[in-house]
A and B are shown apart, each in its own frame.
Chain A
Amino acid sequence: MLKTRVRQRGGWWRALVLALLAGAGLAGTGAALADDAALAEEVDRLVEEVRGLSPIMARKRASDLRAHIGLMFDSPHAVESDPRTPAGRLGAATFCFACHGQGFEHYFNVGEDVSADKVNDTCLQCHSGGDRMHFRGSPHEFQDMACVDCHAMHSDNERLLKSESQLALCSTCHQERRVDFNRPHHHPVGEGQVDCTDCHNPHGTAGPRLLRGNDINQTCFSCHAEHRGPFLWEHQPVREACTNCHDPHGSVHPRMLHARPAQLCQSCHMTSTFHPGDLMEHDEPQRRFMAAGRGCLNCHSQVHGSNHPGGSHFRQ
C-alpha cells in the first residue's frame, strides 16, 4: 500500500499544480513544468498565490499550506480506484473541486467563507448513510456544528479527527468531561481503553443522549452483560437506569457512584422502622458496621439483582 500511495504521490505534485492552477484561474501554465525542481518552485509560488487569494485560509486554516495539501493525498479521499471517493469520481487532477467547489469557492472556514449547512451538505453527499443517518436534526447538527468542527480532511489521525484522541477532541466543547475522566474513579477513556464513541454516536442517533444502545442500560450492557438479567429478585432503580446510581464519566466516589455507598443507598432507603443499624444513628459500632468497607454492600452485595432463591434482600 505504501508504494501505491507513493505512486499516487509521485503524480500528486502535477495533480496539485493542475488543480491549483485551475482553482486560481491560471490553468495552462502548469503544462510547461517539466522537471521536479521547477515544479517544486512553482508549487511554492502557487501556494503563495493561493494564500493571496484567501487570506482567511492562510491565517486560520493552514500555517503550512504545502503540508496541508500534501496530507490530502494520504487520505482515503484520494483513492482513485474507489468510485465512491472524490478522486474516484473526478480523478486525481481535479478532485479538490468535489469539496472546495469549482474554482475554490470556499476553504471550509465555517462562518466566514461557508456556512455550516453548506459544509455538511458537501460531506453528506457521500457520507449520509450508516452512522451518519440521523445526523440531520441531531443535537450537534441542530446547533450549527459542521463536520469540519471535528474532522479535518487534511488530517492523518484515525477517522480524520482533528485531535489524536477522542477525549481531547470532545472535551474541547464538553469541558466538564475533561475533569470527569480525571476523577479518582472513571472509565478508562484517558488511558485509551475506552473511547467516547463506544457509548455515544456523535453523528446522531434516533434515541436519547446520542447513546449507541438507544437507551442507557442497553448501552451499559454491551460491556456489562452480567447485569442484564432478568433476575428473580430485581432492584427497580437498576432496571430503570444504571445512571440512577452511577456516573459513567467519573466520580470522586468508588465505583463511580453518585455518593458514598451508605449515603447513596439511603437516598431511598431512609426509614426508621426497618433497619436499626441506620447510618444516621449514633450507635457507633452499628454505624461503623454499615459504613466501613463496602457500606451497605457489606451485606447487600447483589444490588444489581439476584437469581438466588434467598436473594430477596440482595445478600446471596
Chain B
Amino acid sequence: MKRWTIGSVVVTVSVFGGQGVATAGTPHSTAVPPGSKESEVEVGAGYLSEDAARFGRYTGPVESGFFPILDFDWFLTLDEDDEDYNDARYGHLQGRDLGLDSRNVRGRYGIQGDYGVQLEYDERPLFQELDMRSPLSRDGRDRLRLPEVGDVDTVDQSSRSWDIDQKRQTVTLSAQKVVRESVKLNASFSREEKTGRRFQGYGDWTRAQGFQLPAPIDQRTDQLDLGFEYQGERFQGRMGYHLSAFSQLEEDFFVVDDPTSADWANPDQRTLSLAPDNTYHNIHAAGAYAVRPGTQVSGEIQVGRAEQDEDFIADDNFAGALSDLPDSLDARINTTRVNLRGAHRLTNRIRLRGSVFYNERDNRTRSFVVGGRETRPHGETRYGVEYDADFNLPGRNSLTLGYGYENVDRELGDRGKSEDWTFRARLRSRPTDNLSLGVRASHLIRAGGTRYDGSTLRGHLDTLHQYHLADLHRFDGAFHGSYAVSDALALGFELGARMDGYENSEYGLLYRDRYSATATLDYFPSADFSVHGFLTAETGKSEQRDASQTLDYKGDTVTLGGGFERAMTEDGRFHLGMDGLYMYSRTKAGLSVGQDHPTVSSGLAQIEVFGRYQARENLEWRLAYMVQAARERDWALGSGPGDGPDGYILMGQEPLDYTAHLLMGSVNYRF
C-alpha cells in the first residue's frame, strides 16, 4: 500500500490504481518481498453520488451510495528463538479492494532460494450498463422467454430491467522449487469462471427485423503450467507444458423467444450458439547459449494442438444443415513455432542481430458443404527473417538499420499468399548532456494478392479488388526527444505518423493515416514535491469506397493530463496531491453523395484531490475526492424498447451523460 489515490491517471475508479495486482503473465519467484516488512491495515468508507456503470466499470463502485474500504498487508514475523529465524523465510498475505468488486486476496509463503507457494483469489468485474430494458425474462440459464401477453407494439409495457455486466473469478495456485542453484521447477494451476450477461443481437435484414438480447455468459477456463528451468554460466534452458481447457458451465447454446414474433403466446424460438468447449496443449522448450562475450544464440520451439469436438447443436430449424454434418466437428489444429536468434558484437561500435522464425497453424479439420456453403477451416504458415545492425557513431550517436521479410501461406483464405518486406532505420543522438533526440522510420511493402480459389466465392471475388486483398505500402515514423532543463525539470516530445496505402484497393478501405503529437513535463524540485503533465493530440483519417461513392472518415483525439504531489508541512507529515485528466474524441464520417453521418463525440473530464496526514509514526489518515464527468454523442445509441430503428428492438443503451462525485476516507495503521 503505497501511493493512495482514487485512480491516478485513469478514467475510472481504482482505489489502489497505482499498484496493479494482476500478475498472470509474470512468473513468481521465491524472492522475499522488497521493502519494509511492516504489516498494515486500511479501513474506511467511500460514497458515490450517482449510478454510473462506466465510472467504476472495472473495479466498482457503480451504484450510488456508501461502500467499504478494506485493504491489508500482513507479513510473517519470527522471533529470535524460532528455529526458522535464520533462513529467509517469508509469508505475505495481501488483500486489495476488498470493499469493491475487484477484490483480490493473495498469499505467498516460502524460503528464498528454496521454495515458494502462492495462492490467489481474484475478482474482475466488467460493468457495461445498468437498468437496460428487454421483454425477455430468464427462465433457467439456457432460456430467455417472452411474457405470454404482449406484442412488438407494446414492448415498453412488457419490458423488465437487466444489468449487463460480467465478472471473472479466478483462483490460482502456484509453486516454485529451487532444486539447486542452477535448477528450478515451477507449477501453476488456475481456474477462472466468467459469468454474467452481454449484449447480443439477432436479426434478419431481409425482413428488417431483429432484437438485442442479454446473452448469458457462464464459462470456465482451466490453465495448467509445468516448467523446468536451468541457468548455467553460459547456457540457460527451460522446457514446459501448458494446458488451457475452456468449457461452458452448462450447454453450449441457449434458446430465446423472438420478440418480433406476431404472437407472443406462441413465439418463434431462436437457438443461438455459445462458444464450444475446447482444449489446447502446448509443449515448449527454449535455450540460450553465450558462445563468447558479446555473442549469443537463443531459440525456442513450441508444439501445440487445439481440439474441439462438441456435438453440433440440434437445432430443428437447420435439419438440412445437420444432415450434411457428422455428430461433431472433431476439429484439430496443430501448431508449430520455431524461433532462432543470434546477437553478435562485431566491434566495439557495431552490433548485429539476426533471427529466423517459422509459425505454422496446420488446420486438420475437415471441410464440409453445409446447406450449399463450404466451410473453410483456415490454416496458415508464416516464415521469415529479421536482420538488424546497430552502429555506435562518434559524438554519442547511434544508428540502427534493419530489414525483415515474412511470407504467409494461407489455406482456404481469400488471399492465398502474401509477402512482406520491411526496411527500417533508427537514429538516436545525444548532442548535449541535457538533450537526447531520436528518429525512426520504417517502410513495409506487402504484395501477393492472389485470390481465394474455393468454389463459393470465386465468381464474386475475382471481379473485385478489395482492401484486404490489396498490396500495402505502410510508412511508419516518429521523432522524439527529451530535454533536461535542469536537474529538476525535464521536457519531452514525440511526433508520430503512420500511413497505410492500399494499392489497387477499389472496394472497402483505400487508405488509413494516423498522426500524433505528445508533449510531457516532469518536475521534481525535491523529494517531497513532484509535478507531471502530458498532452497528446492525435488525428486519423481514412477512406472507404463502394461501387458508387466514398466515405471519408476522420477522427481527432486530445488527451491532457497532469498532477502534483507535495509535502505541505516541513516535517513531511501532511501530503497533498491532485491529478487531472481531460479527454475528447470526435469522429466524422462524410459521404461523397448525400448527407454525412452525424458526428460521434466522447468527452471525459476528471479531477482528483487526495491528501494524507501522518498522525503518528504508524497511523495515517487519508482522504480523497474525485469528480468525473462524461458526455457522449452517438447516433447509434439512444434507442430503447419500441423506440429503436424500425423493426429492431434495442435495450435502451444511451450515450454517456453523467457527473459523478466520489469521496473516500480511511485510516491506515501499520504494525
Contacts and interface: CB of A to CB of B under 8 A. Distances in A.
B18 A164 contact: yes
Given A222-B24, A267-B509, A230 B331 contact: yes
Interface stretch (B154-162, B204-212, B613-621): B204-212
B20 A193 contact: yes
Interface stretch (A46-54, A100-108, A278-286): A278-286
Most chain A CB within a 10 A radius of its CB, from B111, B557, B648: B648
A298 B278 contact: no
A222 B555 CA distance: 32
Given A82-B88, A292-B644, A230 B308 contact: yes
A305 B310 CA distance: 14
Given A1-B78, A82-B113, A144-B398, A165 B19 contact: yes
A93 B390 CA distance: 40
Contacts of A80: 88
Interface in A176-215: 176, 178-179, 181-184, 186, 188-195, 197-201, 205-208, 212, 214-215
A231 to B, nearest CB: 7
B229 A195 contact: no
A144 B430 CA distance: 13
B231 A128 contact: yes
B236 to A, nearest CB: 4
Contacts of B646: 285, 288-289
| Interface size grouping (class) on chain A | 35 or more
A231 B544 CA distance: 30
A208 B337 CA distance: 12
B494 A176 contact: yes
Nearest to A166: B20
A159 interface: yes
A294 B212 contact: yes
Interface in A136-183: 136-137, 142-144, 155-160, 164-168, 175-176, 178-179, 181-183
Contacts, number: 510
Contacts of B306: 228-230
A268 B518 contact: no
A263 B20 contact: no
B545 A182 contact: no
A84 B300 contact: no
A225 B221 contact: yes
Nearest to A198: B25
Interface stretch (B139-147, B259-267, B587-595, B661-669): B587-595
Contacts of A136: 288, 290, 296, 298, 343
A192 B14 contact: yes
B76 to A, nearest CB: 5
B173 interface: no
A307 B313 contact: yes
20 contacts: A63-B527, A81-B112, A130-B184, A133-B236, A133-B298, A164-B18, A179-B559, A190-B8, A200-B25, A207-B339, A225-B221, A225-B244, A228-B306, A230-B329, A230-B333, A267-B508, A270-B545, A299-B204, A299-B210, A301-B201
Given A175-B536, A234-B375, 9 more contacts: A4-B86, A85-B113, A129-B229, A178-B9, A183-B585, A192-B21, A228-B306, A236-B413, A280-B544
